[in-house]
Structure 1
Amino acid sequence: MPTKTRRAPRHVLFLLTWWVAGCIVALAETPSPGLPTELWPPVGVGFVLLTLVWDGRSRPDQSAIGVSALMAATFFGFALVFSHPVVEAAFMAVTNTLAAVLMTLAYAVTKDQAGWAPRRGLALLGMVLGAVVASGLLALVGGFPDLAAGRFEPLTLWWAIRSTIFAFIGGATFLIFFHGDRERWRRTTPPSRLALAVLVVVSPICVFLVFVDPELPLTWFLLLPAVAAGVSLTPFGAAVHALAQALTAGAMAFLPFDQFAYVGVLPPSLLVDLLLAVSTFVTIQIALLRDERERANSAEQELRQQADARATLLGQVFDSMSDGMMLFSWEGDLLRYNPAVRHIFGRPIPETLTPGLWSDYLGLCHEDGTPVQDNELPGGPGLRRHQIDAVIGRGGDRRFVEMGSWPISDSEILVLVADVTDQRRRTAELAQFAGVVAHDLRTPLMSLRGLLELAAYEVAHGKTDELAPLIERAEGASARMERVVEGWINYTLVREGRLTPENVSLTDVAEDVCGTYRESPHVGTRIAVRAPHLVRADRGLTRQLIANLVANAVKFSPPGTPAHIEITSTDDTEAGWVRVEVADRGVGIPTGQEHRIFEEFHRAPGRSTRIEGTGLGLSLCHSIVTRHGGTISARNNEHGGATITFTLPAAD
């Protein structure tokens, strides 16, 4: 489809050359008295030329007006060259130019399409109408040689028909050449090109035979090749065929064996011309219909491919969603579901299930344990738009789901199922965190407040000698709050921070950590380090991991007894990993708590009030190890204390 109306200057120059040639051909022939010339192309050539400089929608600009003036001046000059009187030459120049303008305007109004090239039959009919109106008015005003204005006689009709035929054939073919889809012609298949080559030879031969033997049936020899061209060629090829047929007929008119005379109101010579015009119309019309059908089929195929692609994409999205999606009919039949539904409910989804048994089959309950009834499920009668929370399973295996339904058409209902177990767990953790925060900060904060009030009282009563112990205790309370806050910050950084792996010496890190415990106030603490391995880990997190484990061991040592800690490393049973153990001789781990001590905010039962802590230390260790891809576990050892074992990647 062309995107521009204005063509390159070379196209305009080419048509101006044809305008000059058309003027010469039209004016050089001196017709016999009472007869028109055999060729009169100015109106058709001028029509095509004007389409190159005007878009047909806006007002004609200077280029269109200038080209029109140049056309009139050229016609006038050649009319003088061929001995036409000045007045007659000027009149014919103006009227023929105006006829071309009128045909252009008429076609622009009636074509009912974008662009100049005809793309449907209505545009061709508009072109015929424009040619008839322009040539008819031109004949009535006497715009042809030796034709008086306002006379209604056979010669007037002959001139009008001759000009109309040349205007239509020339306009229809050259508009396709200059404004048609050239890319379509370049993509023409070899069989179509071969058909064009054959028809361009056969059609002129048929025209030649008609002129040689007028007794031959004109319709067969002129219209059959036209129909064949229409059903086998593109619009561009059909235009080439029509022009070749018309040019052959025009050339035959000048040969001595032309036996078609001007007898009667519609002489045989004009009948041949009319048949050529009909042939051109039929050829191009059939080709345009085929082209329009092919475009429609191509557009339909493209839309179908787009629809298939969208359906495939939606299907992939449907199947890959983590939330469950179930499509039901209004009658309650399950039409489709995605794999997430099977994963969430933990059992196969039957294609058919007796109404009233869905809740029982899936094991859906309310949070209070009462079964969910089928008439409560989203999508059921009266619940086309409905949401419900349900529980699947019991005890520690309970999972929470949210279900909602939305009608998506007059016959289908979409039910969404979301597993919100992790969300509920996280909400519970946040609530627990809030409780831990309140508990851990309340005691030192209340202590700090009380100490400050007591200090203010002492100052008010002049007892300044009692301030030092109070300030020292207040600093201790403040330090406890600082440690609590620092623990939360460290935990967040470990969970969300970025790892920077490098080769790390376990001995260096452990000795650095243990150095602080070999000094006051931890005099007597015994720490043995036998960890010669190098690991591939984040140095800062590795230090924090060992520091937390050592601090935990020191914190849970028996009252009045120095802590005894051993840090050892060995090759893990899995190649490429190092196993590290931190063993103490403290109070050990309560039975059944070996796994829970790594949970967030967890504290061993019976020790929460005696020993200060946030419940984040071992959870922090768990996060550090798992972020490195390792494992961590805890057990009681033969000394009654606890042994924490973890693995880290071995160094390169």
Structure 2
Amino acid sequence: MPAELLQGATSATGPTPGTPALRPTAAEPPLVGPAKILIVDDEPKNLLALEAVLDLDHLELVRATSGSEALKALLNHEFAAVLLDVQMPGMDGFETATLIRQRERTRDVPIIFLTAASRSEAFVSRGYSVGAVDYLVKPFDPVILRHKVAVFVDLFRKTEQVRRQAEERAQLLEERLARVEAEAARDRLQQVIDVLPEGIALADEHGAFHLWNRTAEEILGQPPAAVQTGAAGGLPLLDLNGEPCPPEELPLARAILWGDTVRGVQLLVENTAAGRRVPVLVNSAPLRGAAGVISGGVLAFQDISAIKEVEEQKDIFLAAASHDLKNPLAVLKSRAQLLHRRLSRPGATPDVPSILKGLQGIDDTAGRLTEMINELLDVTRIQMGRPLDLDLRPMDLLELAREVALELRESTDRHEIKVEASCDSLEGEWDRQRLGRVLANLVSNAVKYSPDGGPITLKLSREQEGTASWAVLSVTDSGIGIPQEDLPRVFDRYFRARNVSRRIEGTGIGLAGARHIVEEHGGQIMLESSEGLGTTVTIKLLLTAVGDITVCA
């Protein structure tokens, strides 16, 4: 097919006046690179002629000299249009167009047939039937060719613009969905960690906190991010001596920088809001991404103030208990040595009354030691959560109260210990030894915490509640009392009120042990106190069901 069939086109180097420019309009963004046009002809000079006509800006012409080359080019490029010669050796234009339309990727590419062959209606119909969008018979006008190509380039650009916009919208939607899912996952995680009793804080690879729970804020007095120390250090942690930890030794830094898992490190953290240092038990671990790369770290810290306080109070208790045991042991040893010296003197005549008195003293001291050891054993059982092995026998609570009051009157001359009862006796089945210990402890506390002296009153009465009858015993003093804020903890093991913990000796187990013993009996114990006015401790123990005999006015 001779190139001269292109009317005046062989020397054209640009658009003919009046021809639409093949450029994107100002309203649409330009494509990346020029639009590509595939020109297919088995005659090189015809290809040159087409290139001369279509040598325009924003167009890239790709040659093919056969149907096979055209199909290969279509696999590697996106074309705005294909200018396809019909009459080619081997695979002609119709066959090539048929294969183009059969492929999913290329079926929508516009095909313009170029041929010098028959203008018959059947020939043209065949071209349209195999997928051509236009049919130009040589010789053709370059202006018309440029115009038709311009239309398809413009359509291609608009189609690409729509496709890009659709892809961008799809990407935006995907990103929004991802954000929504991430926020939902974050909310779920927040709900989970907010119920944990430990402070939890999650940091990125730089150590900056981006998620934490309420407990963390409570321990620190403010959000972790507000006290961020920078780098990978995390929180401003101190060692137990109050010295700042080296940054590289901080648990979170070790997790993020070295991938270490840190467990059970005791440190101090500054609570600037409360103006105090909080002892914490710290754990940390690295957070890794899908590829195993460290992407951050998690820090868990538990406020162990209560544990530390219990440990301190326990140490005080052990020291006091050791002291209390040491005194009767010293008395026991002294009396035994005295008896030994008296009996071992040469020619000494045994003074039986004196020996018996000494032995009685040893027996009394041994009894007190046994009682103290039993009390320590009860404390151990309470700590282990084991029930007490109560020795329940018939006894009179009023009689026991009078015995305890009489015994403790001898230990003080500044207090008037009296017993008031609205009945002649209060009989029930209880563990006499343990209830005696409870009463002795309550009266001793009343004496101890009334340093200026004053009355101490034991009141006993009987109360009826439905079908149950209760023995009620209260011990009242007019001593220093207990601060209101300490009342919720008075029955905790080793706890001592702040107004006495440093100036009056004590173990902090008396009321805790009393509550356990009373509750093991199925009873109740209550405490009322006002600082500076005194304290009343009340015990209620089950007597009998209605109808049984209880001698009480």
Pick the TM interval, shorter chain. 0.3 to 0.5
Structure with the bigger percentage of strand? 2
Structure with the larger RCO, 1 or 2 (CA within 8 Å, 6+ apart): 2
Structure with the bigger percentage of helix? 1
TM-score with structure 1 length normalisation?
A: 0.37
